[in-house]
Amino acid sequence: MREKSVENNGKYVAVHLRFEEDMVAFSCCVFDGGDEEKKELDEARERGWRGKFTRPGRVIRPGAIRMNGKCPLTPLEVGLMLRGMGFSNKTSIYLASGRIYKAEKNMAPLLEMFPLLQTKETLASDEELAPFKNFSSRMAAIDYSVCVHSEVFVTTQGGNFPHFLLGHRRYLYGGHSKTIKPDKRRLAILFDSPRIGWKSLKRQLLNMRSHSDAKGIQMKRANESVYTFPSPDCMCHPNKSERPKPIQAR
C-alpha cells in the first residue's frame, strides 16, 4: 500500500456514503435543483427503470421524500453532520462508497472539512486494485474490512452493507465498538431550517450522536433486521462460559 494512512494515533472514522448516480436518481430527491440536474436524473431514471417513474397517475413529491428521511445525504451534509457531532478537521476519515455523483463538485466541501479523508482508491495503487475493480462485491469487501475495524462507523443510508456491519460490530472490542446511525428525518429538518445557527445546530447534532451511538450486544427489537441485531436469533454468545449447557438424556 502507499505511504498514506487513514489512522490518526491508531484511530479513524469510517463513513458509508451512498451518493452514486443510480442512488441519487432512484431517490427522486432534488439536490442542487435546476434544469440540468432534472434532465440528467430524468434520463438516468429512464435508462435504469424505463417507465417506472413516468407511468400515469404516479405523483412524486421530493419535499415529502426528504422530510421522511429517504433522500441520500450529500457529501456536504455528511461533512456538516460530522463536524457538528464533534469530529475535527484533524479526524482521519475513510469513505466507503461507490462512484460519487458529480464527484469533483460534490466532494470538494467534504474534503475541505476533512483533508485527511481517504478512500480505497487513494490508499491502494491501481495495480493493487486491479484484481478487484471489475467486481463490485470485491470492492465492497474492501470497504467492509476497513469499516468493521474502525474506531467509529457512521452509516448514512440503509441496505445490507450497513446492516451487516452494525450486527458484526456488536461483537467487537468487548461490545464497545461505536456505530452512529443518524436520524435522517431530524437531519432534514435541521439542514433546511433557515434560521438555525451553528451553535444550535451543533448542540442538536451532538445530542443526536449520543442517542444514535449504537454499541454493545442488544436484544433484537420489533421490525429490526436480524443482521443488525443478530442476538438472540442466531444464538450467538460472547464467550464459551455463557453458552447453554446441553440437556442430558434420561
Residue 240 within a domain: no
Q: Are residues 25 and 134 in the same domain?
A: no
Residue 7 within a domain: no
Instruction: State the chain's mean pLDDT as an integer.
Output: 85
Q: Give yes or no for residue 186 having a pLDDT over 50.
A: yes
Q: Are residues 41 and 88 in the same domain?
A: no
Closest C-alpha to 15, from 71, 73, 67, 69: 73
Show the cell assigned to 210: 449520543
Where residue 134 sits, what CATH number does that domain have?
A: 3.40.50
Question: What end-to-end distance do the CA atoms of the chain give, in Å?
Answer: 60
Residue 243 within a domain: no
Q: Are residues 83 and 190 in the same domain?
A: yes
HEC states along the chain?
CCCCCCCECCECEEEECCCCHHHHHHHCCCCCCHHHHHHHHHHHHHHHCCCCCCCCCCCCCHHHHHHCCCCCCCHHHHHHHHHHCCCCCCCCEEEECCCCCCHHHHHHHHHHHCCCCECHHHHCCHHHHCCCCCCHHHHHHHHHHHHHCCCEEEECCCCHHHHHHHHHHCCCHHHCCEEECCCHHHHHHHHCCCCCCHHHHHHHHHHHHHHHEECCCCCCCCCCCCCCCCCCCCCCCCCHHHCCCCCCCC
Place of cell 465492497: 140
Percent over 90 (pLDDT), the chain: 65
Residue 72 CA to residue 132 CA, distance in Å, equals: 26
More confident residue, 249 or 7: 249
Give the pLDDT of residue 7: 42
Show the cell assigned to 213: 451511538
Residue 90 within a domain: yes
Q: Are residues 94 and 166 in the same domain?
A: yes
Q: Are residues 196 and 157 in the same domain?
A: yes
Q: Are residues 40 and 108 in the same domain?
A: no
Place of cell 431550517: 193
Q: pLDDT of 53-105, one tens digit each?
A: 999 988 999 999 999 999 999 999 999 999 999 999 999 999 999 999 999 99
Q: pLDDT of 140-175, one tens digit each?
A: 999 999 999 999 999 998 888 988 888 888 877 777
Residue 6 within a domain: no
More confident residue, 4 or 46: 46
Give the pLDDT of residue 219: 58
Q: Are residues 227 and 103 in the same domain?
A: yes
Residue 182 within a domain: yes
Q: Are residues 91 and 197 in the same domain?
A: yes
> Phi, psi at residue 94, to the nearest 5°?
-110, 120
Residue 211 within a domain: yes
Residue 118 CA to residue 137 CA, distance in Å, equals: 20
Task: State pTM to two decimals.
Answer: 0.83
Give the residue numbers spanning the domain of 217.
Answer: 13-19+72-232
* Number of separate domains in the chain: 2
Q: Are residues 100 and 214 in the same domain?
A: yes
Place of cell 434420561: 250
Residue 246 within a domain: no
Q: Are residues 225 and 135 in the same domain?
A: yes
Strand pairing partners for 154?
Answer: 15, 180
Q: Are residues 219 and 104 in the same domain?
A: yes
Q: Are residues 175 and 101 in the same domain?
A: yes
Mean pLDDT of 223-230: 69
